[in-house]
Every structure is written in structure tokens, then in C-alpha cells.
Amino acid sequence: MDRKRRDSLALLDPKPGERLLIVGAGTGADLPHLPVGCTVLATDLTPAMLRRARPRARERTHLSVMDGHQLAVPDGAFDGVVLHLILAVIPDPVRCLREVSRALRPGGRVVVFDKFVRTRRPPLALRALNVVIRVLFTDMTRRFEHILERSGADLVVVRDEPALAGGLYRRLLLRRAGEPGLPAAPRRVGNTHLRSRPASGS
């Protein structure tokens, strides 16, 4: 997965001086691939994981035990967020994505690398396999579109591309709305998707 992580981070395109948040950093596998000069907050729910990540931490990298469902960070504090192999594992991915949007500044970016199905009803064989696998470590039947819609997050999908395994793994780049020239995220009203319109001048 190391090369796939690098490819995903290249999509995020972090710059020196930016503030980055990694949710579910684990052993810190992403840290060596970030450019020098970024301020990085790498979080994980498990202290043991962060102890393993410490040798990979560079200057301006901070490790913190934190729950991805309730990030103890200010609103709009980060330029970019990394979600690698976390949305298929965390118990409530909808709440996690909502928190990520809150932590981003307007125009900030999120990169997602994980396994998602594209159909509303996954194949029977995959659903049967998932009964066992999700108990052990991950859910293979989550649909990103469903997570994003339910979150109500002010995020717009900019890139969506297959990463490996015949398209089961996907790599997505999102931006938080609010930056000039960036369309607002769609709002759901009943069964209809609407896009926010700028207020007309008086």
C-alpha cells in the first residue's frame, strides 16, 4: 500500500507551510511522504499505534490520541486532511466526514483512499464475505456517495478514480466549499438535490 499512499498524497498536493490533519494515522505510514515544512497533526484512537508512529514523525509533526468522531480541533484549522483506510473501519463514517469538513478551512482539501462499492446493493458474494470481514477489521460494503450525502458536509468531489483491486479501492479528492469560484456542495431537500445559490444584490 505504500505506493498507493504516495499516489493519494500526490493528489492532495500538500505544500510547505500548510497545516495538515491525518485522521487514523496508525503507525504513521503516511508521514514520510509529506513534504518538509508542513505542520502535521497525526491522530489515532490507539496510543500504541502512535507510539509506533513516533519514529516516523518529523519536525513540526504532532501526534495526538483523538477520536475521529469528535476531533478536538478548532473549526477551519487545516488546509488539508488525509483519510487513508479509515472510512471503511471507523464505526460512524458519516460523523467522521462531518467532523473533517468542520476542521477544514473554506477551500481546504480532503484526500480519501479506501474501499467502497459503487452500487446501492453490493453483490451477494461480497455481502456474505463482509459478514465475517467487518467483525475482524473492515467493512467492504460502504458506499462513499451515501456517506457524503448523509454527512451533510460542505464538500465537493473534485477527483474520483480507481486505485487498485478492480475499482474496489478508490482515491478521491474533495474540497470544502466557500472558496471563490468553487461550487457549493449540493443540499438535499426531500428526494431532490439542490445547489446553494449566491444571494442576489440589492
Structural domain of 67: 2-195
Q: Report d(CA 102, CA 100) in Å as an integer.
A: 5
Q: Using pLDDT thresholds of 50, 70 and 90, give the confidence band for residue 190.
A: very low
The crossing angle, in degrees rounded to 10, of helices 144-151 and 93-103 is: 60
**pLDDT tens-digit profile of 108-161?**
999 999 999 876 555 544 444 444 455 444 566 788 999 999 999 999 999 999
pTM: predicted TM-score of the whole model, two decimal places: 0.81
* Number of CB atoms found within 10 A of residue 47's CB: 10
- pLDDT above 70 coverage of the chain, percent: 76
Which runs of E-coded beta strand occur in 12-60?
Answer: 19-23, 39-44
**pLDDT tens-digit profile of 53-110?**
999 999 999 999 999 999 999 999 999 999 999 999 999 999 999 999 999 999 999 9
The predicted pLDDT at position 161 comes to 93
Cell output for 23: 485522521
Residue 202 lies in a domain: no
Where residue 63 sits, what CATH number does that domain have?
Answer: 3.40.50.150
Residues 6+ apart with CB under 8 A from 125: none
Residue 22 lies in a domain: yes
Residue 30 lies in a domain: yes
Total domains, the chain? 1
Residue 46 lies in a domain: yes
Residue 124 lies in a domain: yes
Cell output for 143: 458506499
**pLDDT tens-digit profile of 19-35?**
999 999 999 999 999 99
Residue 110 lies in a domain: yes
